[in-house]
Amino acid sequence: MTYSIGEISEMLNISISTLRYYDKEGLLPLVNRTPGNIRAFNETDIECLKMIECLKTTGMLLKDIKTFFEWCEEGDSTIEKRYELFLMQKEKTEKQIEELQKALARINYKCEFYRISKEKGTTDVPGLREELSMKFLSLK
Amino acid sequence: MTYSIGEISEMLNISISTLRYYDKEGLLPLVNRTPGNIRAFNETDIECLKMIECLKTTGMLLKDIKTFFEWCEEGDSTIEKRYELFLMQKEKTEKQIEELQKALARINYKCEFYRISKEKGTTDVPGLREELSMKFLSLK
DNA sequence: ATACAACCTAAACCTAACTTTAGGTCAATA
DNA sequence: TATTGACCTAAAGTTAGGTTTAGGTTGTAT
């Protein structure tokens, strides 16, 4: 079973031009072509793209994702490198989540601040600023 | 109490050129200058920069952060807009955290996969591929 | 007075990750 | 067979968020 670039684009919600760009950049070294030179994606390519999406979400650069795929093709001699890559990415991702949770706490406070301000019609609500705002942020 | 651009840079771990860039882009409309034209940052500027960092962490564009600051300066007539902005950003941030957690689960599996592969000296470990790898990802 | 680090601006440059454009090919349908 | 929509490449363009460069000023210590 193979899929055209348009089908893959819809399935994975990645634009056609992005798929071609990934291919050109060497991130999909295995994509077969029909005799007429049309890309025919298979399950492996799909898994590959899902891995790209996963790593991209965590902020890994395309060139580093490419390096990882190259290591995969080199075989068992690169297991150690790949292990360390994922250990590092795990750390980074955990830190990113922490950072986002801190930011979310701040944003949640702002939601509350503006909910009350909206109710009162002004950001100068006695008690609100002193008790909450100052704790996080003097900027309204 | 005021601070030089170099002091702020160290305090907040933002490069001097980035601070000047933010100022140029109008994200710090309130920064005072000495008679000799040297920037003198105050507590409000620091809070402003912390807010920028917070919103940037959640993926907000600098131009949208700027818009938010402009709304702040316009006063109580923009409370509603600001409230909606933060409600939206809250949603987005929660989704980002979810996405990162999904990615982390995948990465954690890869760590385990490579830990075992490293131990065995090969990624062709009977049982590993069938029981775990296929569940997530055929790519090694 | 002079050296020297820290500051200033404007403008050019950079990188990642795409997207768009231009010009052409392929394959199924009327 | 002619059209049409989906595909192809190469190359140029875009955007965000900076950094670097070049040339000049400020302020403090010797």
Q: What percent of chain A has pLDDT over 90?
A: 85
pLDDT at A124: 87
The residues in A 25-84 lying below 8 A from B, measured between CB atoms, are 43-44, 47-48, 50-51, 54-55, 57-58, 72, 76, 79-80, 82-83
pLDDT at B137: 45
Ordered structural domains, chain A, with CATH:
1-74 (1.10.1660.10), 90-139 (no CATH)
pLDDT at A125: 83
Mean pLDDT of chain A: 91
- CA–CA separation, B104 and B90 (whole Å): 21
Closest by Cα among A90, A45, A13 to B138: A45
Strand C close to B20 by CB, under 7 A: yes
Task: For strand D, give the nucleotides within 7 A of a protein CB.
Answer: 6-10, 16-21, 25-27
- CA–CA separation, A82 and A87 (whole Å): 9
Selected residue with higher pLDDT from A129 and B49: B49
Q: For residue A57, what is the nearest residue in chain B, using CA coordinates?
A: B100
Q: DSSP of A57-88, one letter per residue? A: HTT--HHHHHHHHHHHHH-GGGHHHHHHHHHH
Closest by Cα among B49, B55, B57 to B8: B49
| Region label for A26, one of left (φ > 0), alpha (ψ between -120 and 50) or beta (otherwise) | left
Q: What is the mean pLDDT of each run of 10 residues along chain B (140 residues)?
A: 96 98 94 95 94 98 97 95 98 98 96 94 77 44
Provide the b/e sequence for A30-46 (b: ≥16 CB within 10 Å).
ebeeeeeeebebeeebb
- Contact between B139 and A57 using a beta-carbon 8 Å cutoff: no
The encoded tokens of residue A81 equal: 């490198």
- Contact between B83 and A48 using a beta-carbon 8 Å cutoff: no
- Contact between A114 and B55 using a beta-carbon 8 Å cutoff: no
A87 CA to C18 C1' distance (Å): 29
Residues in B touching A138 (Cβ below 8 Å): 43-44, 47
pLDDT at A129: 60
Strand D close to B35 by CB, under 7 A: yes
Selected residue with higher pLDDT from A97 and A137: A97
pLDDT at A30: 82
Question: What number is the average pLDDT over the span A25-43?
Answer: 93
Find the Cα–Cα–Cα–Cα dihedral B114, B119, B122, B126, rounded to 10°.
-90
Query: pLDDT tens digits, residue range A87-105?
Result: 999 999 999 999 999 999 9
Selected residue with higher pLDDT from B103 and A132: B103
